[in-house]
Structure 1
Amino acid sequence: MHTTAEESVQACPDCGTEIRVHGRFSAWCAACEWNVDPAPPEESPGRLARARRARTRRYSERLLAELTAGRALRARRDTASVLAYALALAVHAVTVAAVAAGIGLLIRGWGGFGMVPGLLLLALAWSLRPRLPRLPEDVPVLHRADAPELFALVDEVATVVGTRGADAIAVDGMVNASVGTYGIRDRRLLTLGLPLWEVLTPQQRIALLGHELGHYSNGDARHGRVVGSAYRSLRTWQYLFHPYPEPTLLAVVVNAFYAVPRWLLAGLLLLLDLLTLRASQRCEYLADRLAARAGSTEAAVGVLDRLLVSESAEVTLMRESNGSALRGPGGSRRDDERIDGLWERLAADLNSVPEHERERRRRAGIRRGHSVDSTHPPTHLRQTALLIAPPVPPAVVSDAGREGRIAAELAGARRTVARRILLDGYGA
């Protein structure tokens, strides 16, 4: 076996092919895929979760087949989406009925014990009411006056993808990014996870913005006010009918009484999920196309590559957090040095991952059907959908000056999030 400073060379135990082994990463063989996925198998999900995963993959593959055949995907309201809206309105109608019944019982029993059922129904309706999302209070939130250069970039990307920009930008410690709304006027909120933002190149950041803002263009019903609030109402119902753990005799009776509505609610959630799943998958593919239009095909594929190694970012942040806790307070100057250098250390750690390790994770991701979450198509299918289309050059290009100004605008948020990760613990 030949050895260098960082790598050693050995024969694959299965096929004998010469493989290079890096001390920090798993040894594997590109020829026969020996040890390509050495991690222990994921815990077996429940039957419904397995069925949902299979259904997600099936829809994703069908949509990819349509793209491969040259058929254009368009955001549209199909029969399933209309039925999802109808079901969501029916859920909200139950809340309205509870209000009406509560008021009626309150009036009929006014001044006596008969008011109690009416008050209970009104309290129930209040808990089920559609809630307007608010700006997060536990993470830094930037407005246009706080970060004019960042908002200008977001506006430029928004114009390219055919929508308008964000009204506020939240910055948190997740390896992710998302969009949403807040307030009665449906103002737009863009959430940037610094652990993802900081490890992307400037063009990949533009592609990321294109993908997230593209969701506004595509009209994903699952995140809309009507369907999204119906999801929340049904989950509130589920919480109210959740069985008592370690029940007493009386609680056993209550749990048995709750069984039927609990299964009914599970069925309604499953149906709503089924009705919106295909449209949600389509929206992700369309958002990826818009990401490529904004930042280039290469950048959009690069963002997905970064997501494949997102676990490495999480491990690094966990290691930094645990190391900070073990070292204990080191004085304000020492803490400042750890905090100020966190994002540079994270970027350097991910950039040091060699290409053969990235390729192993791509292949392992294909085997496991890696996806950002259960609503996203598998990552390798999203990459394939981008690569089968003609390469797209960037419509928005950043430069060092703009990147420097944006970094200065994010300096306070970077420090706040880094401090929370190191001193309060990652994920706190």
Structure 2
Amino acid sequence: MSTSVGTVGETTQPCPQCGAEIRVDGRFTTWCAGCDWNVDPERPGEEPGRLERRRRRLARRHGERLAAEVAAGETLRPRRDFAGLAAYLIALAVHGVTAALAVGAVWFLVTGWGGAGMFLGAVLGLLAWTLRPRFSELPDDQPLLTRTDAPALFALMDEVAVVAGTRGVDTVAAGSELNASVTTYGIRGRRLLTIGVPLWEILTPQERIALLGHELGHYSNGDTRHGLIIGNALRSLTTWRYYVDPTPNPTLVEAFVNLVFLLPRALLQGLLMLLDRLTLRATQRAEYLADSMAARAGSTDAAAAVMNRFLVLDSAETMLRREANAQQVSRRGTADREPWLGLWERLSAHMASVPESEYERQRRAAALRGHSVDTTHPPTHLRRQCLLTVPPLPATVTTDDGTESRIAAELAAPARTVAQRVVKHGLGH
């Protein structure tokens, strides 16, 4: 039988497995800290493809090895090795094929071949165009900030960048995702930091510094998978594989085409898996190094707290979706209302109410499930373990109330725009 406890909305009940008294909060999964009953209830999901399953296994294996290196007292550093060289050679070969297609297209178009060459040249040219290396561009659907728009924010990022051994960014995008990322854009390789406003708003000032340290650390730690050469080679191989994917429920002619493409399809799949294997360990190492930059800039405690936040982002996402759904339901007769006002304050209050027991459950579940931010990241519990294995680091960068107020004022307009978008359209728009 359940009984009431002091906190509003909480009750207690005996654990059905060991009989220990456990607290029940209707907003979160009920579990037992004594015997781990229901610590990770099964969550059915879409079965990943073969490449994704293999990537997850490799990510976990490499993550465990790198964590063991840290536990043994080794210092992780960016490393150039045979795997990295081989990855670059394969990537250059992929781009060489694209260049050959472009040259062939020009040759056929010039020679003509009685008209047939013109058609073949056009086909080869179109194929080469779809496979060409791409330079990222600035997003046109997100508020953008430059140094002129946000001098206090950029000054803070410059300070963090010095700790990370790199330079700052050129532009900041305010996104609606519960995430943050860095990339480059344009031929000159300018730097873009995308800050998910929902994530930024639920972090403390010191945790924000740790987050900036992690993201800026990616510029200095040799992460090649997202670089221009290897990143575009992976994209080109994925495009090639799309072109030769088998047609489902084929006709007789389509079945013959599927058979003809069987060998090219196997070759492309093999190249993708090989390039994945050659770059994944470096990517894993880059994540651990970025975590160390987060700890160095914001402190070990702040970096570990950011990882804890990522474990409970489902709760933040649920709350924001509830806000968006409520707006959809009550849209009629409320044209003059502004339901996005106070959204971030409500989100912060919701996340502040998440009990420590839920953080602990998520940490244990992450260890069982091998939770990671995505299939290229090391498991979150191993990243946290690596941070806590070495002696804790104090914060190198801190802010005062004045700086935090100035940054908040600079982000106020973008945050309002993102809040409107989240309430109207939901996350990720």
**TM-score interval w.r.t. the shorter chain?**
over 0.9
Amino acid at match of 2:48: P
Q: Indicate if the aligned counterparts of 2:214 and 2:294 stay in contact, CA closer than 8 A.
A: yes
What residue in structure 2 maps to residue 54 of structure 1? 57
* 1:89 and 2:106 aligned: no
How many angstroms apart in 1 are the aligned matches of 2:80 and 2:332?
Answer: 56
Displacement of 1:9 in angstroms is: 2.0
Displacement of 1:411 in angstroms is: 1.4
How many angstroms apart in 1 are the aligned matches of 2:13 and 2:375?
Answer: 39
* 1:377 and 2:378 aligned: yes
How many angstroms apart in 1 are the aligned matches of 2:265 and 2:352?
Answer: 48
How many angstroms apart in 2 are the aligned matches of 1:406 and 1:284?
Answer: 27
* 1:285 and 2:288 aligned: yes
1:199 pairs with one of 198, 202, 208: 202
Q: TM-score, normalised by structure 1?
A: 0.96
Q: 1:330 to 1:216 in 2, by over 3 A?
A: farther
Q: Indicate if the aligned counterparts of 2:201 and 2:348 stay in contact, CA closer than 8 A.
A: yes
How many angstroms apart in 1 are the aligned matches of 2:47 and 2:335?
Answer: 46
How many angstroms apart in 2 are the aligned matches of 1:98 and 1:149?
Answer: 49
SS of the counterpart of 1:392? coil
Amino acid at match of 1:385: C
* 1:242 and 2:245 aligned: yes
2:17 pairs with one of 10, 14, 17: 14
What residue in structure 2 maps to residue 45 of structure 1? 48
Identical positions, percent: 59
1:209 pairs with one of 207, 212, 222: 212
What residue in structure 1 maps to residue 401 of structure 2? 400
Amino acid at match of 1:151: F
What residue in structure 2 maps to residue 32 of structure 1? 35
* 1:224 and 2:227 aligned: yes
1:170 pairs with one of 151, 170, 173: 173
How many angstroms apart in 2 are the aligned matches of 1:102 and 1:324?
Answer: 53
Q: 1:195 to 1:321 in 2, by over 3 A?
A: same
Displacement of 1:105 in angstroms is: 2.0
Amino acid at match of 2:218: H
SS of the counterpart of 2:139? coil
1:295 pairs with one of 289, 294, 298: 298
How many angstroms apart in 2 are the aligned matches of 1:54 and 1:90?
Answer: 27
How many angstroms apart in 1 are the aligned matches of 2:410 and 2:276?
Answer: 39
Displacement of 1:343 in angstroms is: 1.1
RMSD of equivalent CA atoms:
1.6
What residue in structure 2 maps to residue 155 of structure 1? 158
Greater shift in the superposed pair: 316-325 or 97-106: 97-106
What residue in structure 1 maps to residue 326 of structure 2? 323
Displacement of 1:47 in angstroms is: 4.0
What residue in structure 2 maps to residue 423 of structure 1? 424
Q: Indicate if the aligned counterparts of 2:177 and 2:427 stay in contact, CA closer than 8 A.
A: no
How many angstroms apart in 2 are the aligned matches of 1:175 and 1:377?
Answer: 19
Displacement of 1:44 in angstroms is: 4.0
How many angstroms apart in 2 are the aligned matches of 1:192 and 1:233?
Answer: 28
Q: TM-score, normalised by structure 2?
A: 0.96
Gaps in structure 1 of 5+ consecutive residues: none
Deviations 1:105-136 (A, max 9, x none): 22222663322112211121111111111111
Deviations 1:208-241 (A, max 9, x none): 0000000001021101111111111112212222
* 1:308 and 2:311 aligned: yes
How many angstroms apart in 2 are the aligned matches of 1:103 and 1:384?
Answer: 55
Greater shift in the superposed pair: 27-36 or 244-253: 244-253
How many angstroms apart in 2 are the aligned matches of 1:309 and 1:326?
Answer: 27
How many angstroms apart in 1 are the aligned matches of 2:114 and 2:197?
Answer: 57
Displacement of 1:330 in angstroms is: 4.8
Amino acid at match of 1:301: A
Amino acid at match of 2:104: A
The total of aligned residue pairs comes to 426
Gaps in structure 2 of 5+ consecutive residues: none
Displacement of 1:86 in angstroms is: 0.4
Displacement of 1:48 in angstroms is: 3.7
SS of the counterpart of 2:397? coil
How many angstroms apart in 2 are the aligned matches of 1:59 and 1:193?
Answer: 28
Deviations 1:354-396 (A, max 9, x none): 1111111111111111100011100010000000111111111
2:141 pairs with one of 138, 142, 153: 138
Displacement of 1:332 in angstroms is: 4.7
How many angstroms apart in 2 are the aligned matches of 1:178 and 1:427?
Answer: 14
How many angstroms apart in 1 are the aligned matches of 2:335 and 2:400?
Answer: 35
Deviations 1:67-88 (A, max 9, x none): 1111111101111011000000
What residue in structure 2 maps to residue 116 of structure 1? 119
